[in-house]
Amino acid sequence: MVDPNPGNLELIDLLATVRACRFCEQDLPLGPNPVLRASATASLLIIGQAPGTRVHASGIPWNDPSGDRLRNWLQLPREVFYDESRVAIVPMGFCYPGKGKSGDLPPRAECAPLWHTQLLQHMPAVELTLLVGSYAQQHYLGPDRETLTARVQRWRDFAPQYFPLPHPSPRNTLWLRRNRWFEEAVLPDLRKRISALELEENKRE
């Protein structure tokens, strides 16, 4: 088992330690395959839920229809989205948790307490953190009874550090249709915040 408290490791060593983690191996139906990306220079951090089966197989985060929708929300091309020197991706659970009655199981509860604080300490350049879905929001904004819809509706209250978002899964298409304000008000502000980070090369030069 990997030591969950490896001390003051450099980020490259810490990432290797996380990727070798077998802490909850016995509970993972497809076995451990931690998927994350991080760097000391990334200015955008995306915290989602946990990999699905496609991401587990490819090892590439958000490499699925949910990721396509998320990149459209952010108006970021794949080459920028997957440049870890600019965009860090640290989900609540690093491994595929298995299938439940109505979709994938929640992210494993062990990951965030074990690794998030250590990882974030090595990412001093992060200016904006996207909290995608209720699990990330409850962890970082507080385990209250507020619904995801209510939390996303007051996205401005969490600026400038956090930006809460619904999960971009195709399963949430009906939610998006019922909540047109998200596309009309939230996405324009999100894109403005992303643009201000100057992630794209032509804006960084």
Question: What size, in residues, is the chain?
Answer: 205
Task: Provide DSSP, the chain.
Answer: ---S---S--HHHHHHHHHT--TTGGG-TT------B--TT--EEEE-S---HHHHHH--TT-SHHHHHHHHHHT--HHHHT-TTTEEE--S-SS---EETTEEPPPPTTHIIIIIHHHHHT-TT--EEEEESHHHHHHHH-S-S--HHHHHHTGGGGTTTEEEE----GGGHHHHHH-HHIIIIIHHHHHHHHHHTT-SHHHH-
Looking at residue 189, its pLDDT comes to 98
Residue 37 predicted with pLDDT over 50: yes
Residue 5 predicted with pLDDT over 60: no
Residue 7 predicted with pLDDT over 50: no
Find the range with the poorest average confidence among 24-38, 91-105, 119-133: 91-105
Task: Give the residue among 89, 155, 92 at the shortest CA–CA distance from 166.
Answer: 155
pLDDT in tens, 156-195: 999 999 999 999 999 999 999 999 999 999 999 999 999 9
CB neighbours of 136 closer than 8 A, spacing ≥ 6?
47, 48, 49, 91, 92
Location of structure tokens 């930006």:
163
Looking at residue 1, its pLDDT comes to 46
CATH number given to 11-197: 3.40.470.10
Looking at residue 118, its pLDDT comes to 95
Enter the pTM of the model.
0.93
Task: Give the residue among 119, 121, 91, 93 at the shortest CA–CA distance from 107.
Answer: 93
Res. 100 pLDDT band, cuts 50 70 90: confident
Domain spans of the chain? 11-197
Residue 6 predicted with pLDDT over 70: no
Residue 155 predicted with pLDDT over 70: yes
Residue 65 predicted with pLDDT over 80: yes
pLDDT in tens, 188-199: 999 999 999 999
